[in-house]
């Protein structure tokens, strides 16, 4: 339960490479989100991260759902910003 509360209050920034026009190279998926969470002390399985619309392909903010258990879903605020 403590993990749920910490995740629900968590704001994460991921820096990505962008072209001169500001277009992202590649995308941000469960792997990048999982690694970012791990760096911040959260052990989250990649398959627990819900991206219903697929990988994130644009800069900006998103709310990401993370299923900790069958009935327990946390939400983090993710900001994808240019490097």
Query: pLDDT digits over 33-49, tens only?
Result: 999 999 999 999 999 99
**pLDDT value of position 70:** 86
Distance CA 22, CA 35 (A): 24
Q: What is the CA radius of gyration of the chain?
A: 13
Strand order through the sheet with 72-82: 11-16, 72-82, 60-69, 49-50
Which of 52, 50, 8 is closest to 33 using CA atoms?
50
| Residue 8 to residues 17, 50, 70, Cα–Cα distance (Å) | 27, 14, 17
61: Cβ contacts below 8 Å, ≥ 6 apart = 77, 78, 79, 80
1 has pLDDT over 80: no
């Amino acid at each position: 339960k403590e993990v749920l509360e910490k995740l629900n209050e968590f704001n994460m920034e991921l820096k990505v490479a962008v072209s001169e026009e500001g277009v992202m190279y590649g995308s941000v998926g469960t792997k990048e989100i999982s690694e970012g969470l791990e760096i911040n002390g959260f052990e989250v399985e990649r398959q627990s991260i819900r991206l219903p619309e697929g990988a994130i392909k644009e800069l900006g903010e998103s709310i990401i759902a993370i299923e900790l258990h069958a009935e327990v879903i946390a939400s983090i605020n993710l900001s994808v910003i240019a490097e």
